[in-house]
Structure 1
């Protein structure tokens, strides 16, 4: 049985811990000079994460190392107490006495622990309520246009859902947001509101998908009731399209999508393509059918271009085909710094905050990764050896891979909209942030990176990228040496001391949720990946 790849907003690596001499110390820039924890703290009981960039901040074993450190001498305790950043560096006493919290499943964190009153769920509700209102008015006879053009409303929803997943369109939308709002005089609340909205656009895809099914079901009911003015072929094609849309939606249901991502991806893709082909058949049959003669007209070109349904179908087809027109098979250089990860290099520089997709077989599967680039000659990704494809990058590196030339954007790209930003990353969630360190940009970026075994697992090249940045702007915490910090408090204190406008987090679902919620409770704007990012 093949190991299934899972989707993630953050592409990172989970590693086992080995004792080593840490190349970094925890940098505390506002104290005037870098401070280090005692060098004899040489082991961590951190467990390997179960996902790409997991960092289990609440392990039961963490209490053991906290107590062990205290027992090694009062000098350690005094040194930590004397710094004003005790909480920032994860107070030993706080962690030792903190009661163990019940670990929620990843799925519950993704689906339920994000809160019910979020922008994401609000957009879903608004879109669905608008469509339901239109349907109710149409069925009760108060919206005659909707009742007479049900198929058109179904198509309109499909256009909207396609737009919200079209990478080229979203690239333009995000670019416009950064271009016009990424100015110092724009109020911060406008920037954060825009970030919340753009981060949640994917939900319109889901909501419009459900709405399109509802409108199509209503259209089919009306057609069956008025069977004399339709043909069995039209009803059959419409019923098949409805079935394919339902299958596609069921495959995208969060439980299926999370546990069986490959099934979701392939079902969503091929069911959608077949439905699109049948949609053209449906449009042609509908326009050419003459209910009076019970036959089909041969010349429908003049009638076709006058129908809104035709132009909506053209738009849907163009939006779906566009990303595939940029698919290319390109040469790559794959390096494995360890048995747990591979660095894959491509030609061409990329702007900071951009993400990309690669595939061994474009019709089968695609994998998204954060891109590291200095914006000049090349860009790279760091792929964790988790599933069959990513493991093959380590054990049997290919010389060619399929890529989409149009890279896509997400939350990291919106860093460009702010003046001062604190970036918080765990594991190889650092990747998408490294570009902000490698090339000059207008954003004053500060970084916290918590990871396991920097050079041993990520390689010398990644280590040098981080170590080459001014030390007063970076905090690197190696859990293989120092254990797990209280990352939420670390982020809060760093954001306050650096006077950053916003905190952007890239971690596992539970870690991102905890940091974002803690920052918001402290009055600091914060964003992290959502499950549908």
Structure 2
């Protein structure tokens, strides 16, 4: 029986979970006598320019998912080098390529060796991003600080923490909630661009800030584990002094602990990736229930009198004097804010092909902003990059890779739920740099198109690799790519030009435009390949991580 295909996503770029070869690697044929070679030149997509890249000619297959470069079948007819050459080498009247002599081997761009023949995308997400990523460093830092405080409290060297262990647990919950506040980080990203988006600011400071802002999920998860540790410690102390508390307080605290553990287990990378809907719903409803019980815990602990073994009715003056109360107020406000902006709005959905849909909304949006939409706000939300000229309307490009996105193609709704508070993603930080190369494959282009439609303080260059530009994405998306200088926008249509080595092409393009940083949006393997290749070439690069 065929195994079911699972999907996940990284800020609107969807991908399948299934083993296959690296989609960006170029197959190396077995050793054999060198066949006769020919060199063929194609003039690519209308206002674009493709730098030299070595690829093998192959039969075009339907992509296994919309953002991927499709796996290709080799033909036994030798290697074909596809290169960009001037217009006069292409016969436009007869629409055919002009054959020119093959360049010497030194002039050819040699493909890099495949990094992996077999391996699942799950391993790329969970293991191959490295042991010392910024995300993991922030996780370890958060956990280490908390464990240090916990050890000092347990050894009577930190009496304040020992007496207020529950407060430290609540403080960690506040920190992890803040790290997932899209409204808060919209402000943080804006401040970062305003302060650091100046030519005299060192590039190292900019890239360091970008890495931290992209990886705050490490703080979120580190504080989540720490909140459990502090609450366990608080419960142990409470049970030791059981005469000074009530069974209700112990029961409520134990239930909160159980919900925090359940939420953390659901967020474990393996569970989150393979069962994303389970993770999302468990995280949401367990968190809400824990928040309600946290209010009950605070009211019970503040109103309980251990001497009389009863609860007092005079809470007002006591509540406002306790830190736990104010921390819980902050947590509640942070959680409620996004839900206050949820609206059901009319949408206009068009389908360029069976592979994607274009969802249009009213109102212009700044470049680099992402948004969430939902058919049912209490059960699921989906994040997509926003395309907008910043004036009258904005749109989202949704590749048909999951149940929800496929339904947009087969049965487009007239209304969708949205959050009015849009959030800033990695692309928003483009304005912090002077020269940037944006690399996208497939529908990953949606997070970058706004930079082609709106004024941008950075000098932006774009490299887009996709199959069947007009057929899969429609004339509207194709039109957005036209009208730009040929050296600024590079569109590589794999249906016409074959599949390139995107990592190598990104490095060549970044050097050509002297980019300070490369930002890529692709599937996990593709993003990893581009980021690693650029870093090896001494170019700062960032791509979506599994917990972006």
Q: Equivalent residues in 2 for 1:432-443 (5 A)? A: 432-443=447-458
- Structure 1 Cα separation of the partners of residues 430 and 6 of structure 2: 32
Q: Verify the 8 A CA contact 1:4 1:261 in the aligned structure 2.
A: no
Which of residues 48, 54, 65 is equivalent to 2:68? Answer: 54
Which of residues 231, 243, 255 is equivalent to 2:258? Answer: 243
How much does 1:298 deviate?
0.7
How much does 1:9 deviate?
3.0
**1:125–1:329 CA distance, 2 compared to 1 (3 A):** same
- Structure 1 Cα separation of the partners of residues 176 and 496 of structure 2: 47
Once the two structures are superposed, residues 130-186 of structure 1 have per-residue CA deviations (whole angstroms, 9 ceiling, x without a partner) of: 000111111111111111000000011001000000000000000000011011111
Residue in 2 that maps onto 1:485: 500
Residue in 2 that maps onto 1:163: 178
- Structure 2 Cα separation of the partners of residues 49 and 12 of structure 1: 11
Q: Equivalent residues in 2 for 1:405-444 (5 A)? A: 405-444=420-459
How much does 1:320 deviate?
0.3
Q: Verify the 8 A CA contact 1:412 1:433 in the aligned structure 2.
A: yes
Residue in 2 that maps onto 1:18: none
Which of residues 374, 392, 396 is equivalent to 2:407? Answer: 392
- Structure 2 Cα separation of the partners of residues 108 and 99 of structure 1: 16
Residue in 2 that maps onto 1:186: 201
**1:292–1:426 CA distance, 2 compared to 1 (3 A):** same
Work out whether 1:531 is the aligned partner of 2:546.
Answer: yes
Residue in 1 that maps onto 2:485: 470
Residue in 1 that maps onto 2:45: 24
Q: Equivalent residues in 2 for 1:21-170 (5 A)? A: 24=45, 27-28=48-49, 44-45=59-60, 48-50=63-65, 53-55=67-69, 59=71, 61=72, 63-64=74-75, 67=78, 69=80, 78-79=101-102, 86-87=108-109, 91=110, 94=111, 98=113, 101-170=116-185
Residue in 2 that maps onto 1:17: none
How much does 1:100 deviate?
8.0
Q: Verify the 8 A CA contact 1:70 1:76 in the aligned structure 2.
A: no
- Structure 2 Cα separation of the partners of residues 64 and 157 of structure 1: 58
- Structure 1 alignment gaps of length 5 or more: 15-20
Once the two structures are superposed, residues 402-457 of structure 1 have per-residue CA deviations (whole angstroms, 9 ceiling, x without a partner) of: 00001011111111111110011000111110000011111110011000100000
Once the two structures are superposed, residues 70-95 of structure 1 have per-residue CA deviations (whole angstroms, 9 ceiling, x without a partner) of: 79xx98684565996x43xxx5xx47
Once the two structures are superposed, residues 240-283 of structure 1 have per-residue CA deviations (whole angstroms, 9 ceiling, x without a partner) of: 00000000010011011000100000000000000000000000
- Structure 2 alignment gaps of length 5 or more: 17-41, 83-96
Residue in 1 that maps onto 2:22: none
**1:102–1:83 CA distance, 2 compared to 1 (3 A):** closer
- Structure 2 Cα separation of the partners of residues 152 and 8 of structure 1: 34
Work out whether 1:228 is the aligned partner of 2:243.
Answer: yes
**1:65–1:519 CA distance, 2 compared to 1 (3 A):** farther
Work out whether 1:505 is the aligned partner of 2:516.
Answer: no
Once the two structures are superposed, residues 340-396 of structure 1 have per-residue CA deviations (whole angstroms, 9 ceiling, x without a partner) of: 111000000000011000000100100000100000100000111122211111111
Secondary structure at the residue paired with 1:158? Answer: helix
Q: Verify the 8 A CA contact 1:434 1:465 in the aligned structure 2.
A: yes
The higher-RCO structure (CA 8 Å, 6+ apart) is 1
- Structure 1 Cα separation of the partners of residues 158 and 53 of structure 2: 70
**1:437–1:378 CA distance, 2 compared to 1 (3 A):** same
**1:306–1:23 CA distance, 2 compared to 1 (3 A):** same
How much does 1:230 deviate?
0.5
Work out whether 1:517 is the aligned partner of 2:532.
Answer: yes
- Structure 2 Cα separation of the partners of residues 451 and 45 of structure 1: 12
Q: Verify the 8 A CA contact 1:383 1:390 in the aligned structure 2.
A: yes
Which of residues 465, 468, 481 is equivalent to 1:453? Answer: 468
- TM-score between the two structures when normalised by the length of structure 2: 0.87
What's the C-alpha RMSD, in Å, of the aligned pairs? 2.7
Q: Verify the 8 A CA contact 1:171 1:408 in the aligned structure 2.
A: yes
**1:527–1:78 CA distance, 2 compared to 1 (3 A):** farther
**1:216–1:78 CA distance, 2 compared to 1 (3 A):** farther
Q: Verify the 8 A CA contact 1:372 1:432 in the aligned structure 2.
A: yes
- Structure 2 Cα separation of the partners of residues 496 and 65 of structure 1: 34
Secondary structure at the residue paired with 1:459? Answer: helix
How much does 1:108 deviate?
0.6
Residue in 1 that maps onto 2:316: 301
Which is helix-richer, 1 or 2? 1
Secondary structure at the residue paired with 1:284? Answer: helix
Secondary structure at the residue paired with 1:472? Answer: coil
- Structure 1 Cα separation of the partners of residues 254 and 53 of structure 2: 67
**1:321–1:8 CA distance, 2 compared to 1 (3 A):** same
- Structure 2 Cα separation of the partners of residues 136 and 489 of structure 1: 49
**1:13–1:513 CA distance, 2 compared to 1 (3 A):** closer
